[in-house]
Amino acid sequence: MMMRPKEVRHFLPLVAGVVDDFVDRLGSKIDPVTQQVSLLRDEIAKWSLESSAMVCFEKRLGCFDGGSGETWAGKMVEANKQIFLLSGLLKFSLPLYKHFGTPKWKEIVRHEDFFYAEAMRLVRETISKIRDAVDKESLEEGQYSFMTYLLSRGELQEKDVFILTLSLFADGLSTTTPAALYNLYCLAANPEAQEKLKSEIREKVKGEVTSETVENLPYLKACVKEAFRLYPVGTEVSRVIQQDLVLSGFHVPAGTHVDLSPSVHFLSEEHFEDAAKFVPERWLRDKSYSTPKANAHPYLLTPFGFGTRMCAGRRFAEQDLYLLLIKVLQKYDLSYPTDEPELGQKYMTLLFPDRPVRVLFSRKHSETNPNAMWLSGRGMWFTYVFGVFALHIFLLSIPFLSIPWAWTLTNITHDIAMFVFLHTVRGVPWMTLTQGKESSMTHWDQIDYGEQFTASKKFITVIPIVLYILTSYYTNYDSFHCFVNFMALLLVLVPKLQSWQQNPKQL
């Protein structure tokens, strides 16, 4: 049951919002020194889970909110990873697990019980919300469209609705996740193709990404196809032959189980010129890559299978991948460490990257918002403390100022300056960079690209508290000084607490 393109496009704005948040949050996950994201696979998996939840349940699960939603998502991702790893190991072990519960079998059952119980809970919650809304006649048109569509199909029983929704919710985790990693890797390792794709995106994507925009990006689609050719996710497409066939000169009787392994013909020089190279041009209709055997036959590439049993989630997966690549490349330049060998694949029921994918993300120069990262280096923390100290020494050196007043003035000046610059000024007024969300965000909210409770934000919260304690001590806890300094402290703490309360997640 494959969804029609129009039905899949309906979800584009919902999943595009998830990609926006994911790409924003990526900023705070990139190590400023190595430019890499540790556990990139898990980050991408959380995005895939959040995106599927938006389609199935029209609900944000908070898979990258840094709080309980993210902890839950981490457990789901880990359970899914273990299920695929252990299933792969069992497939090639003695089939003892078929007769009694071997340790690996029990382990799989434990992970599956957890994963599917959680997914079923979400399906049940959504069905009961839909029924409530129908009873109260408050269900809006287009709301919960995936599940209302399934529920409205007379031929489907409730258990079918559960199975189809579970599949849509869970399948992307083990398929779209590695496919996204392979695409990022291929573009990072092939700067020329990446540059061509970026110029296509620069030229054709203006403002919001719509389904029409995506349709108009042939090079993007060619890149995704080529990544599937070099790094297919599945190991085989299986069929039981319905009638006698002759395949490559061999007689194959009806009823035989035949596996077609994409890794063989996708990488065959017989079919593809420079088969080991990433050449998206071979999929372009304009035949710009014009060497013999260059423009491959479209039916050679079947990463989603073919025919009536082809992948039911193909269009969702492609839509997710296109959006992810557009939005990542709008913000980052990708590269691959020169000392790192080419990426390989390892079997875990499906084909996953054989090691952590070390893509380097560097912010495009024109997109760099200095407000977001200036505090992320420890050198800046030292400079900040030194600046406050220098202000204090200057005030102490004014002859008529007593020591208590020098402390109080240091504290008040610091807190007022912090209030004005961090909590009142919005956007990046001293720069002409394209300001999207930043234009309405205070400097405080922009720090670490909106991520809350980061080390920099904790540092900048602790500073006025420490300064207040020192000032109270050096003013001998005089009640007037204490009062004035406390007011100054409130001036900078209250907006931070408000911001944490209003934006518990990243913005």
With tokens 């036959």, the residue in question is 297
Nearer to ligand HEM, 262 or 427 (CB): 262
Closest CA to 217 of 295, 94, 113, 326: 326
Does position 76 bind ligand HEM by CB under 6 A? no
Nearer to ligand HEM, 306 or 453 (CB): 306
Alpha helices in 358-454, H assignment, sequence order:
370-373, 378-396, 403-418, 443-446
Answer whether 147's CB lies under 8 Å from 128's CB. no
Q: Which two tokens stand for residue 84?
A: 């695929």
| Site mask for ligand HEM (CB under 6 A), range 245-284, x = bound | ----------------------------------------
Answer whether 6's CB lies under 8 Å from 49's CB. no
Q: Segment contacting ligand HEM (CB under 6 A): 190-198, 313-321, 357-365, 465-473?
A: 313-321
Does position 220 bind ligand HEM by CB under 6 A? no
Binds ligand HEM (CB under 6 A): choice among 131, 202, 277, 309:
309
Does position 172 bind ligand HEM by CB under 6 A? yes
Q: How far apart, in whole angstroms, are the C-alpha atoms of residue 54 and residue 20?
A: 13
Please, which residues bridge with residue 258 across strands?
239
Binds ligand HEM (CB under 6 A): choice among 128, 215, 277, 306:
306
Binds ligand HEM (CB under 6 A): choice among 313, 427, 464, 495:
313
Q: Which amino acid is at 67?
A: G
Least CB distance from residue 53 to ligand HEM, whole Å?
12
Is 56 among the annotated ligand-binding positions? no
Q: How far apart, in whole angstroms, are the C-alpha atoms of residue 235 and residue 88?
A: 11
Torsions phi, psi for 334 (to 5 deg): -105, 145
Nearer to ligand HEM, 306 or 421 (CB): 306
Q: How far apart, in whole angstroms, are the C-alpha atoms of residue 48 and residue 324?
A: 10
Binds ligand HEM (CB under 6 A): choice among 88, 280, 303, 450:
303
Least CB distance from residue 342 to ligand HEM, whole Å?
21
Footprint on residues 230-249 left by ligand HEM (CB under 6 A): 233-234, 237
Q: How many residues bind ligand HEM (CB under 6 A)?
A: 22
Answer whether 155's CB lies under 8 Å from 164's CB. no
Within 189-315, strands assigned E span: 237-240, 245-247, 250-252, 257-260
Does position 171 bind ligand HEM by CB under 6 A? yes
Nearer to ligand HEM, 310 or 469 (CB): 310
Nearer to ligand HEM, 160 or 269 (CB): 160
Does position 179 bind ligand HEM by CB under 6 A? yes
Does position 161 bind ligand HEM by CB under 6 A? no
Q: Segment contacting ligand HEM (CB under 6 A): 84-92, 229-237, 448-456, 476-484?
A: 229-237
Footprint on residues 355-384 left by ligand HEM (CB under 6 A): none
Question: What CA–CA distances, in Å, run from 415 to 38, 398, 468, 486?
Answer: 36, 20, 10, 10
Binds ligand HEM (CB under 6 A): choice among 8, 83, 317, 351:
317
Does position 447 bind ligand HEM by CB under 6 A? no
Q: How far apart, in whole angstroms, are the C-alpha atoms of residue 303 and residue 296?
A: 14
Q: How far apart, in whole angstroms, are the C-alpha atoms of residue 45 and residue 270?
A: 35
CA 456 to chain centroid: 22
Least CB distance from residue 258 to ligand HEM, whole Å?
11
Torsions phi, psi for 254 (to 5 deg): -55, 145
Element (H, E) at 348: strand 345-348
Q: Which residues are annotated as a binding site?
A: 311
* Site of interaction with ligand HEM (CB under 6 A): 167-168, 171-172, 175-176, 179, 233-234, 237, 303-307, 309-313, 316-317
Q: Which residues are annotated as a binding site for heme?
A: 311
